[in-house]
Chains A and B, each alone.
Chain A
Amino acid sequence: NAGVMQNPRHLVRRRGQEARLRCSPMKGHSHVYWYRQLPEEGLKFMVYLQKENIIDESGMPKERFSAEFPKEGPSILRIQQVVRGDSAAYFCASSGETNSPLHFGNGTRLTVT
Protein backbone atom coordinates (compact mmCIF):
# COMPACT_ATOMS: atom_id res chain seq x y z
CA ASN A 1 0.00 0.00 0.00
CA ALA A 2 2.20 2.78 -1.32
CA GLY A 3 1.84 6.12 0.36
CA VAL A 4 2.21 9.51 -1.23
CA MET A 5 5.31 9.50 -3.42
CA GLN A 6 7.25 12.66 -4.08
CA ASN A 7 10.35 13.11 -6.16
CA PRO A 8 12.97 14.22 -6.22
CA ARG A 9 13.79 14.29 -2.50
CA HIS A 10 16.38 16.98 -3.05
CA LEU A 11 16.62 19.40 -5.94
CA VAL A 12 19.31 21.99 -6.52
CA ARG A 13 18.73 24.69 -9.11
CA ARG A 14 20.61 27.82 -10.08
CA ARG A 15 18.76 31.11 -10.12
CA GLY A 16 16.73 31.44 -13.30
CA GLN A 17 16.31 27.71 -13.90
CA GLU A 18 13.08 25.77 -13.71
CA ALA A 19 12.12 23.36 -10.95
CA ARG A 20 9.63 20.52 -11.44
CA LEU A 21 8.33 18.71 -8.41
CA ARG A 22 6.28 15.54 -8.78
CA CYS A 23 3.71 13.94 -6.55
CA SER A 24 1.81 10.70 -6.90
CA PRO A 25 -1.09 10.53 -4.44
CA MET A 26 -1.95 7.54 -2.33
CA LYS A 27 -3.88 4.89 -4.23
CA GLY A 28 -7.55 5.75 -4.36
CA HIS A 29 -7.00 9.39 -3.44
CA SER A 30 -8.17 12.05 -5.86
CA HIS A 31 -7.47 15.19 -3.81
CA VAL A 32 -3.96 16.64 -3.92
CA TYR A 33 -2.61 19.56 -1.92
CA TRP A 34 0.74 21.31 -2.14
CA TYR A 35 2.28 23.09 0.84
CA ARG A 36 5.53 25.02 1.25
CA GLN A 37 7.54 25.13 4.44
CA LEU A 38 10.36 27.59 5.01
CA PRO A 39 12.97 26.84 7.70
CA GLU A 40 11.53 27.41 11.19
CA GLU A 41 8.14 28.25 9.66
CA GLY A 42 4.79 26.52 9.43
CA LEU A 43 3.25 24.86 6.41
CA LYS A 44 1.71 27.33 3.99
CA PHE A 45 -1.02 26.15 1.65
CA MET A 46 -0.30 26.67 -2.03
CA VAL A 47 -2.78 24.82 -4.20
CA TYR A 48 -5.53 22.20 -4.09
CA LEU A 49 -6.22 20.04 -7.14
CA GLN A 50 -8.39 17.18 -8.23
CA LYS A 51 -7.90 15.24 -11.42
CA GLU A 52 -7.60 17.74 -14.30
CA ASN A 53 -8.92 20.58 -12.13
CA ILE A 54 -7.39 23.29 -9.99
CA ILE A 55 -9.87 23.75 -7.17
CA ASP A 56 -8.11 26.45 -5.17
CA GLU A 57 -4.81 28.15 -5.96
CA SER A 58 -5.20 31.05 -3.56
CA GLY A 59 -1.92 30.29 -1.80
CA MET A 60 0.21 30.15 -4.90
CA PRO A 61 2.21 33.17 -6.12
CA LYS A 62 0.66 34.61 -9.27
CA GLU A 63 3.88 34.57 -11.22
CA ARG A 64 6.35 31.77 -11.96
CA PHE A 65 4.36 29.07 -10.12
CA SER A 66 1.95 26.64 -11.71
CA ALA A 67 0.46 23.28 -10.82
CA GLU A 68 -1.37 20.53 -12.61
CA PHE A 69 -2.85 17.13 -11.90
CA PRO A 70 -3.43 15.45 -15.26
CA LYS A 71 -5.77 12.57 -15.94
CA GLU A 72 -2.79 10.25 -16.14
CA GLY A 73 0.39 10.63 -14.16
CA PRO A 74 1.50 12.56 -11.10
CA SER A 75 0.69 16.05 -9.99
CA ILE A 76 3.39 18.54 -10.98
CA LEU A 77 4.36 21.75 -9.21
CA ARG A 78 6.39 23.87 -11.57
CA ILE A 79 8.48 26.88 -10.58
CA GLN A 80 9.94 28.91 -13.41
CA GLN A 81 12.94 31.21 -13.13
CA VAL A 82 13.65 30.20 -9.56
CA VAL A 83 15.01 32.72 -7.07
CA ARG A 84 16.80 32.16 -3.75
CA GLY A 85 13.57 32.88 -1.87
CA ASP A 86 12.02 29.77 -3.43
CA SER A 87 14.38 27.58 -1.39
CA ALA A 88 12.11 25.58 0.91
CA ALA A 89 10.61 22.17 1.57
CA TYR A 90 7.63 21.48 -0.67
CA PHE A 91 5.20 18.90 0.65
CA CYS A 92 2.47 17.18 -1.26
CA ALA A 93 -0.47 15.58 0.52
CA SER A 94 -3.47 13.60 -0.66
CA SER A 95 -6.83 12.64 0.73
CA GLY A 96 -9.74 10.49 -0.35
CA GLU A 97 -12.44 13.02 0.44
CA THR A 98 -12.82 16.62 1.53
CA ASN A 99 -12.56 16.98 5.31
CA SER A 100 -10.58 13.72 5.51
CA PRO A 101 -7.08 13.69 7.01
CA LEU A 102 -4.19 14.44 4.69
CA HIS A 103 -1.41 11.96 4.06
CA PHE A 104 1.91 13.54 3.25
CA GLY A 105 4.79 12.59 1.02
CA ASN A 106 8.41 12.89 2.15
CA GLY A 107 8.72 16.30 0.56
CA THR A 108 11.09 17.84 -1.95
CA ARG A 109 13.79 20.09 -0.57
CA LEU A 110 14.55 22.75 -3.14
CA THR A 111 17.78 24.68 -2.87
CA VAL A 112 18.37 27.61 -5.20
CA THR A 113 22.00 28.64 -5.53
Chain B
Amino acid sequence: RKEVEQDPGPFNVPEGATVAFNCTYSNSASQSFFWYRQDCRKEPKLLMSVYSSGNEDGRFTAQLNRASQYISLLIRDSKLSDSATYLCVVVSGGSYIPTFGRGTSLIVHP
Protein backbone atom coordinates (compact mmCIF):
# COMPACT_ATOMS: atom_id res chain seq x y z
CA ARG B 1 0.00 0.00 0.00
CA LYS B 2 1.34 3.42 -0.95
CA GLU B 3 2.11 5.81 1.88
CA VAL B 4 -0.18 8.52 0.55
CA GLU B 5 -2.89 7.79 -1.99
CA GLN B 6 -5.12 10.07 -4.00
CA ASP B 7 -7.62 9.57 -6.77
CA PRO B 8 -5.86 11.12 -9.78
CA GLY B 9 -9.15 12.25 -11.38
CA PRO B 10 -9.64 14.36 -13.35
CA PHE B 11 -12.63 15.83 -11.60
CA ASN B 12 -14.52 17.82 -14.22
CA VAL B 13 -17.00 20.24 -12.62
CA PRO B 14 -18.93 23.34 -13.70
CA GLU B 15 -18.31 26.73 -12.16
CA GLY B 16 -20.13 27.10 -8.88
CA ALA B 17 -20.07 23.41 -8.05
CA THR B 18 -18.90 21.91 -4.79
CA VAL B 19 -16.21 19.27 -5.10
CA ALA B 20 -14.43 17.11 -2.53
CA PHE B 21 -11.19 15.15 -2.63
CA ASN B 22 -9.99 12.49 -0.25
CA CYS B 23 -6.49 11.34 0.53
CA THR B 24 -5.61 8.22 2.50
CA TYR B 25 -2.35 7.59 4.36
CA SER B 26 -0.88 4.37 5.65
CA ASN B 27 1.24 5.43 8.63
CA SER B 28 -0.90 5.78 11.75
CA ALA B 29 1.92 7.75 13.40
CA SER B 30 1.57 10.59 10.91
CA GLN B 31 1.64 13.96 12.59
CA SER B 32 1.13 16.79 10.14
CA PHE B 33 -1.07 17.17 7.11
CA PHE B 34 -1.28 19.73 4.35
CA TRP B 35 -2.97 20.43 1.04
CA TYR B 36 -0.94 21.99 -1.75
CA ARG B 37 -1.95 23.19 -5.15
CA GLN B 38 0.21 22.76 -8.25
CA ASP B 39 -0.44 24.46 -11.55
CA CYS B 40 0.95 22.97 -14.72
CA ARG B 41 4.77 23.06 -14.75
CA LYS B 42 4.88 25.29 -11.68
CA GLU B 43 6.02 24.72 -8.12
CA PRO B 44 3.57 23.42 -5.48
CA LYS B 45 2.04 26.12 -3.31
CA LEU B 46 0.64 25.66 0.16
CA LEU B 47 -3.14 25.81 0.17
CA MET B 48 -3.78 25.04 3.80
CA SER B 49 -2.66 23.02 6.78
CA VAL B 50 -5.09 20.41 8.10
CA TYR B 51 -5.89 20.42 11.80
CA SER B 52 -7.48 17.70 13.88
CA SER B 53 -10.60 19.74 14.50
CA GLY B 54 -10.97 20.62 10.83
CA ASN B 55 -10.41 24.07 9.43
CA GLU B 56 -11.80 26.43 6.88
CA ASP B 57 -10.26 29.13 4.72
CA GLY B 58 -12.81 30.94 2.62
CA ARG B 59 -14.27 28.46 0.12
CA PHE B 60 -11.91 25.69 1.23
CA THR B 61 -12.51 23.27 4.10
CA ALA B 62 -10.07 20.61 5.24
CA GLN B 63 -10.86 17.68 7.51
CA LEU B 64 -8.76 15.01 9.19
CA ASN B 65 -10.08 11.58 10.18
CA ARG B 66 -7.37 9.86 12.19
CA ALA B 67 -9.43 6.73 12.86
CA SER B 68 -9.86 6.03 9.15
CA GLN B 69 -6.54 7.63 8.21
CA TYR B 70 -7.70 10.08 5.61
CA ILE B 71 -7.86 13.79 5.01
CA SER B 72 -10.27 15.62 2.80
CA LEU B 73 -10.52 18.90 0.96
CA LEU B 74 -13.84 20.50 0.10
CA ILE B 75 -14.05 23.36 -2.38
CA ARG B 76 -17.30 25.31 -2.52
CA ASP B 77 -18.45 27.60 -5.32
CA SER B 78 -15.70 26.44 -7.70
CA LYS B 79 -14.00 29.08 -9.85
CA LEU B 80 -12.27 28.60 -13.18
CA SER B 81 -9.05 29.58 -11.41
CA ASP B 82 -9.38 26.58 -9.08
CA SER B 83 -8.37 24.33 -11.98
CA ALA B 84 -5.12 22.73 -10.86
CA THR B 85 -3.69 19.58 -9.30
CA TYR B 86 -4.27 19.26 -5.57
CA LEU B 87 -1.56 17.49 -3.62
CA CYS B 88 -2.02 15.83 -0.27
CA VAL B 89 1.03 15.91 2.01
CA VAL B 90 1.61 13.82 5.11
CA VAL B 91 4.49 14.09 7.58
CA SER B 92 5.10 10.95 9.57
CA GLY B 93 6.30 11.04 13.13
CA GLY B 94 9.94 10.11 13.43
CA SER B 95 11.05 10.69 9.86
CA TYR B 96 9.87 14.31 9.48
CA ILE B 97 9.84 13.76 5.73
CA PRO B 98 6.83 15.30 3.98
CA THR B 99 5.42 12.67 1.62
CA PHE B 100 3.34 13.82 -1.32
CA GLY B 101 0.44 12.06 -2.96
CA ARG B 102 0.42 12.00 -6.75
CA GLY B 103 -2.30 14.61 -6.80
CA THR B 104 -5.89 14.97 -7.89
CA SER B 105 -6.57 16.94 -11.05
CA LEU B 106 -9.47 19.40 -10.96
CA ILE B 107 -10.88 21.02 -14.09
CA VAL B 108 -13.52 23.69 -13.59
CA HIS B 109 -15.38 24.58 -16.80
CA PRO B 110 -17.73 27.46 -17.62
A residues apposed to B, CB below 8 Å = 33, 35, 41-43, 45, 48, 55-56, 58-59, 89, 91, 93, 98-107
Contact = CB atoms under 8 A, between A and B. Distances in A.
B20 to A, nearest CB: 20
B55 interface: no
Nearest to B96: A98
Given A43-B87, A56-B95, A103 B46 contact: yes
Interface of B: 31-32, 34, 41-46, 49, 87, 89, 91, 95-103
Contact of B46 (A45, A99, A101, A105): A101
B97 A104 contact: no
Contacts of A99: 31-32, 91, 96
The secondary-structure label for the interface of chain B is strand
A42 B96 contact: no
B91 A104 contact: no
Given A42-B87, A43-B87, A33 B98 contact: yes
The 4 closest A-B pairs by CB, nearest first: A42-B102, A104-B43, A98-B96, A43-B100
Given A56-B95, A56-B97, A43 B34 contact: no
A93 B91 CA distance: 14
A62 B96 CA distance: 21
Given A45-B98, A101-B46, A104-B45, 15 more contacts: A33-B97, A33-B98, A42-B102, A42-B103, A43-B87, A43-B100, A56-B95, A56-B97, A59-B97, A91-B44, A99-B32, A102-B98, A104-B43, A104-B44, A106-B43
